[in-house]
């Protein structure tokens, strides 16, 4: 009996403890749990079990007795949140990083829109600073390549250094983009130093250049003036059995153009090497050759004879002054018709004597002296003249475009007859002229003071259904010899919906200063104020030179020097200069000179840091 009583007491104590435990859990569940825990299924089941057991005094050791009573759960769900219940989010969760491919798309879209500063800002501000995202090599190559295209060489190399510090592996495209940046940089000395360092770095790291890197290197060293390295890189390509393409020779021609003293001579050698390697020239090759003809000279006479002797396989050329001198003929005796090959009656004579160093079997002819070849039209003679050049293009099955004819226009003799023959060739080749061609034709005629013929180009513009642009009026301004003509042109400009700019007024100012026309000069200066134009540095320098020139002439006249013009002493001139000086002093205080921007300023981001893309 005593044993039974003890057992009953222990059983009662266990039930009491279980009941107290259930009640304690119910009272404290709100204080211990967060809102998130209350919403979890497992915790709700435990709460329901404890709550029901507490109310019904069910043994906690008994399972499978859960009822459908949800009143307590409902009450718990309705409880207001407490301060401890707030969920804290991490900053990265508030502003989630994008996938790397999404950054690629954003940067590519900005580059398409030419928003280079914003594209760089995506990497440097958004990815690296704000979102702590790790860029890959493709992001860097995209931005380095874009900087390379616009010549922003400083930023391109900054990104390259950033890339190396971050441990991101460089690719062949990285080096190609960097050399392109050097090639396009406006600062050639700085770009050449960077290109040399990069070339040395590749050698130290034993990085083997592919054909694209070689082409970028040739372009970089060529455009920065290191022709020796550019040509040696081509030799290196041949040693490594790379097949030379027309692109390779095009980059060499670009290198030749940088040498204004002897670039044409180098171009002749490049062309010869191209023929020997059986590489067919492209349209771009011919256009580059014409550009070199226009801008570059032959250089040293002895070296020129040596090169031409190699080309035509005539070693005796070095021993003689020239074939022309042997026949006591000078290029001054050559009629313009021979220079541009436009006289049909003399075609037989031209075919017999015309030199052409472009042919597979080049012929030097006997109508040109090497020592006298100085102007672009004289250099064109060595390429067969206008017709010989076009004939060579036809042989290689290359159709000239309007750029070809535009460059030919700049190297043919400055005569109306030569220009008319060129227009016939354009028509024969079924090429449509554009406004740029017409603008250069107006300029060429204006520079030789053939203003009437220059104005006649307007009828050509109308017949071709072309629209004039601001450059058209700029070249027409070359023909404005006095104030009345300038007024007339400014009215025409306004009628066409354009507005005069600093370049047009600067051209008019040049004419006014050339003729010492003070009234015209003051009129142009007044137009600057009236149109609220900021004169550029060229405009201001021209005015300053004009003022100094007159002062020097007056001083020479006072000293009694005879080489000064007589009109300096006239009352009209002195009075005009006095009025100009008074006006000039006041004018300088009233105008704002246009400051020249650094070429890289446009690529620097000036946005606020809190802006987002």
Q: Is residue 195 part of a domain?
A: yes
Which pLDDT belongs to residue 520?
A: 94
Reported confidence tier of residue 329, pLDDT bands at 50, 70, 90: very low
Name the residue among 215, 236, 248, 118 with its Cα closest to residue 613: 118
What gap in Å lies between CA 565 and CA 562, rounded to an integer? Answer: 8
Q: What is the mean pLDDT of residues 140-150?
A: 90
What gap in Å lies between CA 466 and CA 138, rounded to an integer? Answer: 44
Which pLDDT belongs to residue 204?
A: 93
Per-residue pLDDT for 266 more than 90? yes
- Number of domains present in the structure of the chain: 3
Both tokens of 229, joined, read: 């390295």
Q: Is residue 236 part of a domain?
A: yes
Claim to verify: residue 221 and residue 266 sit in the same structural domain: no
The per-residue DSSP string of 536-576 comes to -HHHHHHHHHHHHHHHHHHHHHHTT-TTS-GGGGSHHHHHH
Reported confidence tier of residue 613, pLDDT bands at 50, 70, 90: very low
Is the CB of residue 156 less than 8 Å from the CB of residue 176?
A: no
What gap in Å lies between CA 296 and CA 293, rounded to an integer? Answer: 6
Q: Please classify residue 397 by burial: count the beta carbons closer than 10 Å to its beta carbon, then call 0-12 exposed, 13-18 middle and 19+ buried.
A: exposed
Claim to verify: residue 498 and residue 577 sit in the same structural domain: yes
Name the residue among 149, 182, 177 with its Cα closest to residue 255: 182
What gap in Å lies between CA 50 and CA 47, rounded to an integer? Answer: 5
Q: Which of 19-28, 105-114, 417-426 has the lowest mean pLDDT?
A: 19-28
Q: Is residue 152 part of a domain?
A: yes
Q: What is the mean pLDDT of residues 470-497?
A: 91
Claim to verify: residue 175 and residue 303 sit in the same structural domain: no
What gap in Å lies between CA 527 and CA 505, rounded to an integer? Answer: 8
What gap in Å lies between CA 376 and CA 292, rounded to an integer? Answer: 9
Which pLDDT belongs to residue 429?
A: 93
- Average pLDDT, rounded, for the chain: 79
Q: Is residue 69 part of a domain?
A: no
Which pLDDT belongs to residue 13?
A: 54
Report pLDDT digits (tens) over 271-297: 999 999 999 999 999 999 999 999 999
- Helix axis angle for 518-530 and 571-590, nearest 10°, is 20
How many other CB atoms sit within 10 Å of the CB of residue 423?
16
Q: Which of 223-237, 302-316, 503-517, 572-586 has the lowest mean pLDDT?
A: 302-316
Q: Measured on CA atoms in the order 9, 14, 17, 23, is the torsion positive or negative?
A: negative
Secondary structure, 3-state, 458-517: HHHHHHCCCCCCHHHHHHHHHHCCCHHHHHHHHHHHHHCCCCCCHHHHHHHHHHHHHCCC
What gap in Å lies between CA 328 and CA 335, rounded to an integer? Answer: 16
Which pLDDT belongs to residue 84?
A: 46
Contacts within 8 Å (CB) and 24+ apart, 259-263: 259/225, 259/227, 259/296, 259/299, 260/295, 260/296, 260/297, 261/296, 261/297, 261/299, 262/296, 262/297, 262/298, 262/299, 262/300, 262/303, 263/292, 263/295, 263/296, 263/297, 263/299
Q: Is residue 142 part of a domain?
A: yes
The per-residue DSSP string of 253-318 comes to HHHHHH-TTTHHHHHHHHHHHHHHTTPPP-HHHHHHHHHHHHH-----HHHHHHHHHHHHT-GGGG
Claim to verify: residue 165 and residue 294 sit in the same structural domain: no
Which pLDDT belongs to residue 93?
A: 40
Both tokens of 378, joined, read: 């004289």
Angle value at C-alpha 389, between 415 and 215, nearest 5 degrees: 120
Claim to verify: residue 140 and residue 262 sit in the same structural domain: no
Q: Please classify residue 195 by burial: count the beta carbons closer than 10 Å to its beta carbon, then call 0-12 exposed, 13-18 middle and 19+ buried.
A: buried
- Pick the last residue of a domain from 220, 243, 266: 243
Q: Is residue 463 part of a domain?
A: no
Percentage of the chain surpassing pLDDT 90? 46
Claim to verify: residue 290 and residue 232 sit in the same structural domain: no
Q: What is the mean pLDDT of residues 515-544?
A: 91
Claim to verify: residue 203 and residue 233 sit in the same structural domain: yes
Reported confidence tier of residue 94, pLDDT bands at 50, 70, 90: very low
Q: Which of 131-135, 287-291, 344-348, 447-451 has the lowest mean pLDDT?
A: 344-348
Both tokens of 170, joined, read: 């460089």
What gap in Å lies between CA 271 and CA 248, rounded to an integer? Answer: 12
Q: Is residue 54 part of a domain?
A: no
Secondary structure, 3-state, 97-161: CCCHHHHHHHHHHHHHCCCHHHHHHHHHHHHHHHCCCCCCHHHHHHHHHHHHHCCCHHHHHHHHH
Per-residue pLDDT for 595 more than 90? no
Claim to verify: residue 228 and residue 288 sit in the same structural domain: no
Q: Which of 22-26, 539-543, 557-561 has the lowest mean pLDDT?
A: 22-26
Query: Given its phi and psi angles, is residue 45 left (phi above 0), alpha (psi -120 to 50 degrees) or beta?
Result: alpha
Q: Which of 26-40, 73-87, 329-343, 456-470 has the lowest mean pLDDT?
A: 329-343
Claim to verify: residue 222 and residue 155 sit in the same structural domain: yes
Report pLDDT digits (tens) over 548-577: 999 988 888 887 777 777 788 888 888 999
How many other CB atoms sit within 10 Å of the CB of residue 596?
8
Which structural domain range is residue 532 located in?
Answer: 489-596
Per-residue pLDDT for 591 more than 80? yes
Claim to verify: residue 409 and residue 546 sit in the same structural domain: no
Per-residue pLDDT for 224 more than 90? yes
Which pLDDT belongs to residue 67?
A: 46
For residue 215, what are the CA distances in angstroms to 14, 204, 246, 252?
Answer: 92, 20, 11, 9
Claim to verify: residue 401 and residue 265 sit in the same structural domain: yes
Is the CB of residue 422 less than 8 Å from the CB of residue 290?
A: no
Per-residue pLDDT for 324 more than 50? no
Tell me the CATH number at 106: 1.25.40.10
Claim to verify: residue 537 and residue 397 sit in the same structural domain: no
pTM exceeding the 0.75 threshold for the entire prediction: no
Both tokens of 142, joined, read: 């995209």
Q: Please classify residue 94 by burial: count the beta carbons closer than 10 Å to its beta carbon, then call 0-12 exposed, 13-18 middle and 19+ buried.
A: exposed
Q: Is residue 421 part of a domain?
A: no
């Amino acid at each position: 009996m005593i044993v039974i009583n003890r057992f009953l007491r222990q059983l009662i104590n266990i039930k009491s403890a279980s009941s107290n435990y259930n009640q304690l859990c119910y009272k404290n569940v709100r204080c211990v749990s967060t809102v998130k825990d209350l919403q979890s299924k497992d915790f709700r089941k435990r709460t329901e079990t404890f709550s029901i057991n507490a109310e019904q005094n069910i043994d906690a050791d008994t399972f499978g007795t859960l009822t459908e009573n949800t009143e307590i759960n409902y009450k718990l769900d309705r409880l207001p949140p407490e301060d401890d219940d707030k969920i804290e989010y991490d900053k990265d969760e508030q502003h989630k990083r994008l996938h790397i491919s999404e950054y690629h798309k954003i940067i590519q879209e900005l580059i398409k829109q030419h928003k280079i500063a914003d594209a760089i800002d995506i990497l440097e501000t958004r990815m690296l600073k704000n979102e702590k995202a790790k860029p890959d090599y493709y992001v860097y190559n995209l931005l380095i390549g874009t900087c390379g295209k616009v010549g922003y060489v400083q930023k391109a190399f900054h990104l390259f250094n950033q890339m190396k510090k971050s441990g991101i592996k460089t690719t062949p495209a990285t080096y190609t983009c960097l050399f392109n940046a050097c090639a396009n940089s406006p600062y050639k000395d700085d770009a050449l130093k960077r290109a040399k360092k990069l070339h040395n770095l590749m050698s130290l790291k034993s990085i083997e250049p592919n054909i694209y890197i070689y082409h970028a290197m040739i372009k970089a060293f060529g455009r920065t003036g290191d022709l020796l390295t550019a040509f040696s890189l081509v030799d290196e390509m041949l040693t490594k059995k790379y097949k030379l393409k027309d692109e390779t020779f095009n980059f060499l021609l670009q290198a030749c153009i940088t040498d204004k003293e002897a670039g044409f001579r180098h171009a002749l050698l490049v062309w010869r090497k191209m023929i020997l390697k059986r590489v067919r020239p492209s349209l771009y090759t011919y256009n580059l050759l014409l550009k070199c003809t226009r801008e570059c000279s032959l250089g040293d006479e002895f070296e020129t004879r040596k090169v031409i002797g190699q080309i035509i396989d005539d070693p005796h050329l070095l021993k003689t002054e020239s074939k022309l001198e042997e026949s006591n003929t000078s290029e001054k005796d050559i009629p313009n018709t021979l220079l541009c090959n436009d006289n049909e009656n003399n075609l037989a004579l031209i075919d017999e004597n015309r030199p052409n160093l472009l042919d597979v079997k080049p012929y030097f002819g006997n109508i040109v002296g090497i020592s006298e070849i100085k102007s672009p039209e004289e250099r064109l003679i060595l390429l067969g003249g206008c017709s010989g050049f076009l004939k060579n293009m036809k042989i290689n099955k290359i159709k000239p475009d309007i750029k070809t004819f535009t460059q030919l226009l700049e190297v043919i003799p400055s005569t109306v007859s030569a220009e008319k023959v060129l227009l016939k060739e354009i028509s024969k080749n079924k090429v449509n002229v554009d406004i740029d061609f017409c603008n250069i034709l107006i300029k060429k005629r204006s520079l030789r003071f053939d203003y009437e013929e220059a104005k006649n180009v307007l009828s050509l513009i109308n017949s071709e259904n072309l629209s004039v642009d601001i450059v058209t009026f700029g070249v027409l301004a070359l023909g404005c010899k006095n104030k009345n003509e300038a007024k007339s042109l400014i009215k025409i400009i306004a009628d066409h919906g354009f507005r005069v700019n600093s370049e047009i007024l600067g051209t008019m100012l040049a004419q006014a200063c050339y003729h010492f026309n003070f009234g015209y000069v003051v009129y142009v200066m007044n137009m600057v104020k009236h149109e609220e134009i900021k004169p550029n540095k060229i405009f201001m320098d021209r005015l300053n030179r004009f003022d100094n020139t007159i002062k020097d002439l007056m001083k020479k006249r006072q000293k009694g020097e005879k080489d000064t013009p007589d009109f300096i002493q006239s009352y009209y001139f002195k009075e005009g200069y006095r009025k100009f000086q008074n006006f000039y002093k006041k004018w300088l205080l009233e105008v704002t000179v246009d400051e020249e921007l650094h070429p890289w300023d446009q690529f620097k981001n000036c946005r606020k840091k809190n802006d987002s893309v």
